[in-house]
Amino acid sequence: MTTVSLRRGKASRIEYNSRRNATSGSAKQLHQQEAEVLEGVSGAKNAGSGFSLSGFPDRRASARGIKGQLLEMSEIGSGESALARQASSSSRRGGRRKETRVTVPLNDFRAQWRTVGAEVLAAVDRVGASGWYILGREVERFESALASTWGLAHAIGVGNGLDAIEIGLRCLGIRPGDKVLTSPLSAFATTLAVMRCAGVPVFVDTDASGLLDLDRCRELLSHDRRIRLVVPVHLYGHCVDLEGLETLREEFDLGIVEDCAQAIGARFRGRGVGTVGQVAAVSFYPTKNLGALGDGGAVLTADEAIARRARALRHYGQSATYVHDEAGLNSRLDEVHAAVLGDVFLPRLAQWTTRRTEVATRYRSEVRNDAVRLVPVPEGSASVWHLFPVLCEARRREAYRAHLSGAGVSTGIHYPRLIPEQKAMRDYGSYEVHGPLKNAQKLAEGEVSLPIHPFLSEDDVDRVMSAVRGWAG
Ligand SMILES: Cc1ncc(COP(=O)(O)O)c(C=O)c1O
């Protein structure tokens, strides 16, 4: 047990008990993944994402720094690449190598490429021939298609989801030292965006579904009127209670950036995700439901002034050619990705979401094993099933994953370590944790993500379910 004390004036001194023991299992699991990466089993580019654009096993992984890839694997992490479908994972048992064929990967980018490859190449060809590669017609076309699909007036293509959140916060006027209420259970990027604005991340617990607990938010907001910014995360593809969020926004006059990286298209009682916050931030990281063939993201908003500022911020803060009213970023979605997203992926998003939902429906009705529980779907949420989380006993998680792996089923963990427990947070120093993070901790310790993506066949689902049912606990 270690105690992190945050000195932000005596009155606001907050103590957080870090449960070191609870994370040692995760550390072990990371080592296991590290070994797999080194063997080249899941070593395509973005090993954790399962993304394999070129199909090259990434021997450069070790050169670039395995640790960096592991962070990706744990934060964004989705386990094996499509290469793993053909490769074999191996482990040493009794001095002999036991070969296990990965038959159901977490993501299947090879299958995706077989479906979309020709169209992607045609889009790339068009952009190449156009001679215009940055902030041109393709980006404009994609932005307008995305905005109309989402039902918001403006979409601004940016470099990635992290930048989208940062730009969103800056559009809402964040200043150094401003407190931002957010979730302890998310990709680190959610909090990193706050840190990059020199803000103070403030964490409260999630509910049992892994989404920011709005009752706790209300409690805290009533006590600390200095909190005026919130970044809720629509985790796993579920939608936060948008009615509750809207009530909080109005009652406390909040600026809200909804982190929609995992939840494009999700709804709450018919209302679309990203429509309560003044800003919605989305990621096109390859594993996302609308994933590019590289990095990308977007800021969405109904507000013209926010849109204008976001456009300037993504482009060095340039409000007119060579006029810089503030220091911005270089965070432009490029023409090639915009063309590919607009021509090939966005038109398939609805159909692919339907397939994810079908798989989730089967999983939800067929996971019958007392040792494995479904993570509850929040009432009112129509999820887009970016991930399919289940819960098992914390101390048996690695054994459970090994069992599934033995049956050829890849799994992930989202996320094994709460954000306030990350060393980067301690080094940053300026953050607050309010109350025990019991629900979030339970998910961090026991969550396992089953494979879910549009290319799973019914046979794949059968395989996953039979492996899940075969687990003795
Ligand atoms: C919840 C969440 N927020 C933010 C991000 C950051 O997106 P990106 O990787 O595009 O920066 C991610 C994903 O990767 C995410 O899952």
CB 144 within 8 Å of CB 283? no
Q: Which ligand 1 atom sits nearest the alpha carbon of residue 285? A: 10
CA distance 421 to 410: 26
CB environment 441-473: b (16+ within 10 A), e (fewer): bbbbbbbbbbbbbbbbeeebbebbbebbeebee
Q: What is the mean pLDDT of residues 351-380?
A: 95
| pLDDT tens-digit readout, 236-291 | 999 999 999 999 999 999 999 999 999 999 999 999 999 999 999 999 999 999 99
Tally the C-alpha atoms within 13 A of residue 156's C-alpha that lie toward its C-beta.
29
pLDDT at 62 > cutoff 80: no
| pLDDT tens-digit readout, 296-320 | 999 999 999 999 999 999 999 999 9
Q: Which residues contact ligand 1 via a Cβ below 6 A? A: 76, 160-162, 186-187, 189-190, 233, 259, 261-262, 283, 285, 295, 297
What is the pTM (predicted TM-score) of this model? 0.84
CB 405 within 8 Å of CB 411? yes
Radius of gyration of the chain (CA): 22
DSSP result, 183-226: -SSS-HHHHHHHHHTT-EEEE--B-TTSSB-HHHHHHHHHH-TT
Q: Given CATH 3.40.50.10860, say whether it is the number of domain 116-347.
A: no
CA distance 473 to 324: 60
Sequence spans of domains, the chain = 116-347
For residue 290, what is the DSSP state?
T
**By mean pLDDT, which of 91-100, 139-148, 207-216, 410-419 is the weakest?**
91-100
Of 386, 154, 388, 389, the C-alpha closest to 291 is: 386
Of 321, 325, 319, 304, the C-alpha closest to 155 is: 304
CA 261 – ligand 1 centroid, Å: 5
Chain length of the chain: 473
| pLDDT tens-digit readout, 384-434 | 999 999 999 999 999 999 999 999 999 999 999 999 999 999 999 999 999
CB 54 within 8 Å of CB 28? no
Beta bridge partners of 448: 390
Residue 273 tokens, joined: 């995700």
**By mean pLDDT, which of 98-102, 191-195, 371-375, 446-450 is the weakest?**
98-102
Tally the C-alpha atoms within 13 A of residue 60's C-alpha that lie toward its C-beta.
5
Pocket test for ligand 1, best of 262, 299, 414 (most atoms within 8 A of CB): 262
CA 161 – ligand 1 centroid, Å: 5
- Count of other CB atoms within 10 angstroms of residue 304: 10
CA 186 – ligand 1 centroid, Å: 8
What's the pLDDT score for residue 399?
A: 97
